[in-house]
Structure 1
Amino acid sequence: MIPVSGYGGQTVAVLGLGRSGRATAKALVAGGAQVIAWDDSATGRDAAEAEGIEIRDLTRNGAYDGVSALIVSPGIPHLYPAPNPAVAAAWDAGVPVDNDIGLFFQSYATDDWDGFDITPKVIAVTGSNGKSTTSALIHHILTTVGRPTQLAGNIGRGVLDIDPAIDGEVVVLELSSYQTDLARSLTPDVAILTNLSPDHLDRHGGLGGYFAAKRRLFAEGGPDRAIVGVDENEGRYLANQLSTAMSDDRVIRISSGQKLDGEGWNVFARKGFLSEYRKGRQVANIDLRPIAGLPGAHNHQNACAAYAACRTLGIAPRVIENAMQSYPGLAHRSQLIAERNGVRVINDSKATNVDSAAKALQAFRNIRWICGGLQKEGGLDAIIPHLDHVAKAYVIGREAEDFARQLTGVDAEICTTMDRAVAIALAEAQEGDTVLLAPACASFDQYDNFEKRGDAFVDAVNDVLANKG
């Protein structure tokens, strides 16, 4: 646990009592604060009260009397589409609002660091797609080469749940826009933007607000190194804003699919090969194609980001390459589930938006595509140009009929349930085909989260294959 500093002897309110909120409350108490808390759910309040956390309705008059700060859990809206009433009450009372990410950055460094030979570092990863894979890959490389490391944030442990730093340690944080948007302190040593595509637009008041939330990691934090995906205009803009000149190697530009020219520090992947260029000269080259845990161009972009991060730590290219070879991949992210009679089965349940699903569709050929769920704003127009590898779509979810109607030029069967979609897709698959779950939608119409959806897919696949013998 990271005891929260700066609030000793003060009263701090916590809003939201899920895993993150309860961990925040404990870390505040460990730092000497008195904690009061609220959750809109009676279940959350009861669970927290059972752990000894004092419950107070933060929406009633006078709730913030004597309160020094309000700490808000990531899932709770603080501005768009409308602020939570407890957040609005904190504004009216003049109480500063923060989140656990802000508390982490203000509390992680301690006086103990003065005795370390190598100062600990924090690598923070954000972006629309690829955050988890990039974070996990960095952590895997560091672990493989023997560098002490912890993985936290949106993946692994909560940021305040991790252990205090040891000499030379690197903490890798996956940070969503929900987390970067509100944190008052954002001071990573290395910050990464993988890419940007429309997502969570209602939460951020549109694409501009969404990008602004991501940009805060760089603009507020002032990292020593910024690694920026420049395949979209927002990334090109950010890299330009952070650079004082093309040769400014504090900014590392990364790309999947285009060669990056110029005198700066560039890492890009083309046709399955990762290249590092510095001052206009190539200094390293890695063949990514044999790495089973990183299939497709979208994962090659993740590899570029992870490679660049590890290079900022002084790790040699060949050492990074060797570590990448053993990367197993993440569950629900281009995860190979089975291979039978020349048919591969891939679980990419994390493809919860059109852009991430499009990237998955580009990674494979002869696709039996299981898709559908709760559609996000913008519809499916952006995925239509990427359907040329789809032999047939098998549509699930409450909106299956509407989803299928939008798939112009593709044979689409309305299956509704996962079990039916898997059974039909596997029955119709031929040698050389890939049965791919890449929903392009949120899961909440049928499942609690994308993990549950992915687990249901795996179970359905295993049941079919077991019955086939």
Structure 2
Amino acid sequence: MIPVVGFAGEKLAVLGLGRSGLATARALRAGGAEPVCWDDNAAARERAESEGFTCRKLTREDAFDDIASLIVSPGIPHLYPNPNPVVKQALKAGVPVDNDIGLFFRSLATREWDRFEQLPKVVAVTGSNGKSTTAALLQHILEEAGRESQLAGNIGRGVLDIDPPGDGGVVVLELSSYQTDLARALTPDVAVFTNLSPDHLDRHHGMGGYFAAKRRLFAEGGPDRAIIGVDEDEGLFLAGQLAEGPGDDRVMRVSSGQKLMGPGWNVFVRKGFLSEYRKGRQAASVDLREMTGLPGAHNHQNACAAYGAARALGLAPRQIEAGLKTYPGLPHRSQTFATSGGVRFVNDSKATNVDSAIKALSAFKNIRWICGGLEKEGGLEALKGQTSNVVKAYVIGREAAGFAMQLDVASEVCTTMAQAVEQAMADAGEGETILLAPAAASFDQYDSFEKRGDDFMAEVARRLE
């Protein structure tokens, strides 16, 4: 646990009592503060009260009379699409609003660090797609190289729930726009921006607000090193804003598909080979083509970002290559989990938006594509012209028929996962891939993308027995 500092003897309100909310309340108490908790869910309040926390309805008129700060869980919208009434009441009362990420950055360093030979480092990874894989891949590389490391944030453990890092330890954080948007302190040593595509637009009131939330990770405190994916205009713009000149190697540009040259520090992949260039000269090359845990151009971009972050932490190219080779991949993210009769089965249930689905579709050939679910804002227009690798689509979800009508590829309305798997396996032949890449949220049929992916794998396993 990371005890929260700076609030001893004060009351702080905690809104939302899920994983991060309860961890925040515990960390506040460990630092000598008095958490005052609230969640609209009665069961969540009961869990908090069973641990000895006080619950108070934060919408009552005098709720913030004795509160020093309001800590909001990342899943709770605070401004858009509509102002949250609790957050608005806190702001009217002049009470600062923060989240667990802000508390983490203000509380991580302790006097014990004065005795360390090498100070701990924090690497924070954000972006629309690939941030989970990039963060997990970096942590795997560090482990393989013998560096103490922990994975937290939007993946792994809650940021305040981790162990205090030791001498030379590294904390790798995956941070969503929900987490960067509200944090009052954002001071990583290394910050990574993978890419940007439309997502969570209602929460951020459009693409401008979404990009602004991501940009805060680089603008609020200023990392020592910034690893920036420049395959989209926003990344190119961000790299330009951060660099003092063409040769400023505090900014490392990464790309999957472009050859990046110039006097700066660049990492890119072309034709399956990762290249590192610094001061106009090649420093290293890694062959990614046979690395089964990193299939496709999107994973090659993730490999570039993780490679760049590892280099910024001082690892040698061959150490990083060894970690890339042994990376098994993350569950539900381009996860090859079975092969049978020459057919490959890939679970990419995390492809919850159109852009991530397009990346998955480009990674494999001869695809039997299982897709569908709760459509996100923007519709499916961007999928058109991106399905050349698809033999046939098998559409699930409550609105499967409407979803199928928007596709520019042969499709079959299946509605349920069981029916989609049954039909795709009956149709598939040697050399084909049955891929779950929904291009939609899961909430019309499942509690989470993990549950959807688990169901897909279970249906496949049942038929392969």
| TM-score between the two structures when normalised by the length of structure 1 | 0.99
Q: Deviation at 1:221?
A: 2.2
Matched, 1:202 2:202: yes
Q: How does 1:418-429 map to 2 (within 5 A)?
A: 418-429=417-428
Question: SS at 2:82's partner residue?
Answer: coil
Q: How does 1:31-430 map to 2 (within 5 A)?
A: 31-408=31-408, 410-430=409-429
Question: Residue type of the partner of 1:451?
Answer: E
- 1:399 & 1:183 partners in 2: Cα distance? 37
Question: Residue type of the partner of 1:8?
Answer: A
Q: Deviation at 1:262?
A: 1.2
- 2:312 & 2:136 partners in 1: Cα distance? 17
Question: Residue type of the partner of 1:459?
Answer: A
Question: Residue type of the partner of 2:389?
Answer: H
Deviations 1:57-104 (A, max 9, x none): 000000001100000000001110112211111011110000000000
Q: Deviation at 1:284?
A: 0.6
- 2:185 & 2:322 partners in 1: Cα distance? 35
Question: Residue type of the partner of 2:87?
Answer: V
Q: Deviation at 1:265?
A: 0.4
Runs of 4+ in 1 over 3 A off after TM superposition: none
CA root-mean-square deviation: 0.6
Matched, 1:4 2:4: yes
Question: Residue type of the partner of 2:177?
Answer: S
Question: SS at 1:395's partner residue?
Answer: strand
- 1:314 & 1:20 partners in 2: Cα distance? 31
Identify the residue that residue 456 of structure 1 maps to in structure 2: 455
Deviations 1:208-231 (A, max 9, x none): 000000000000020000000000
Q: How many residues in Structure 1 have an aligned counterpart in Structure 2?
A: 465
Identify the residue that residue 432 of structure 2 maps to in structure 1: 433
Deviations 1:339-384 (A, max 9, x none): 1111000000000000000000000000000000000011111111
Deviations 1:135-164 (A, max 9, x none): 000000000110000100011100000001
Question: Residue type of the partner of 1:29?
Answer: R
Task: Single out whichever of 378-387 and 115-124 deviates more from structure 2.
Answer: 378-387
Question: SS at 1:77's partner residue?
Answer: coil
Question: SS at 2:385's partner residue?
Answer: helix
Q: Deviation at 1:261?
A: 1.6
- 2:399 & 2:192 partners in 1: Cα distance? 35
Question: SS at 1:385's partner residue?
Answer: coil
Q: Deviation at 1:465?
A: 1.2
Question: SS at 1:123's partner residue?
Answer: strand
Stretches of structure 1 that go unaligned for 5 or more consecutive residues are none
Deviations 1:218-269 (A, max 9, x none): 0002000000000000000000000010100000000001111211100001
Identify the residue that residue 26 of structure 1 maps to in structure 2: 26
Question: Residue type of the partner of 2:235?
Answer: G
Q: Deviation at 1:50?
A: 1.4
- 1:465 & 1:84 partners in 2: Cα distance? 48
Stretches of structure 2 that go unaligned for 5 or more consecutive residues are none
Question: Residue type of the partner of 2:23?
Answer: A
- 1:91 & 1:154 partners in 2: Cα distance? 26
Question: SS at 2:92's partner residue?
Answer: helix
